[in-house]
Amino acid sequence: MKQALGLLIAALSMGACGQYNKEQDVNQPVKTGTPLNENYEPQVTVVKHEDLLQVLNQQNDTLNVVNFWATWCVPCVKELPHFVATLQEMKDKPVKLVLVSLDTRSSLESAVIPLLKKKNFVARHYLLDDNGRMNEWIPKIDPGWDGAIPATALYKNGKKLRFDQGQLSENELKANIQTHL
């Protein structure tokens, strides 16, 4: 039953996002507010959910904007540029962007890192290599989350302050951040 529920959640996530068209999206220029750094080499830490929860539950005054995404999720890839740009605008404030890829570990070198590099998505990067235990970690992020992406959570001082499932506009993102700074 748990395995069937996990497969259903994965199917819903894929259905909500559509298939990622690498030719269409990766090669399009993106305005992120960050000067393009052709030498940018994203560092992606592969974690299990327990490790990710430790990162999210850190006791500090930094607001962590945590975005769950995947390279095959078109709405995810479309919203990331304004996440990066917004956080770049707020670089002098206690706010950080944490991008959590739900791609498979096997796609790290072939899809995740090339996309992050090509789009110049500067942030703290994690790949959550825990798809087999989705039924366990999804409710720990938010009990009402059905697993569909994109999804965004705001954490500060070890507490989740907000959770949004679905694509956020730039204005929604900015308003959410300002509310919790």
Question: CATH code at 105?
Answer: 3.40.30.10
- Let me know: does 72 contact 20? Beta carbons within 8 Å: yes
The rounded Cα 72 to chain-centroid distance in angstroms is 13
Q: Specify the number of domains making up the chain.
A: 1
Instruction: State the Cα angle at 52 between 104 and 48, rounded to 5°.
Output: 45
Residue 50 lies in a domain: yes
pLDDT for res 38: 63
Mean pLDDT of the chain: 83
Residue 27 lies in a domain: no
Residue 23 lies in a domain: no
**In the chain, what percentage of residues exceed pLDDT 90?**
68
Q: How confident is the model at residue 17 (pLDDT cuts 50, 70, 90)?
A: low
The angle, 0 to 180 degrees and rounded to 10, between the axes of the packed helices 49-56 and 134-141 is 10
Q: Is the pLDDT of residue 53 over 80?
A: yes
Query: How do residues 108-158 score in pLDDT, each as one tens digit?
Result: 999 999 999 998 888 999 999 998 999 999 999 999 999 999 999 999 999
* Residue-range definition of the domain harbouring residue 65: 2-18+41-180
pLDDT for res 29: 39
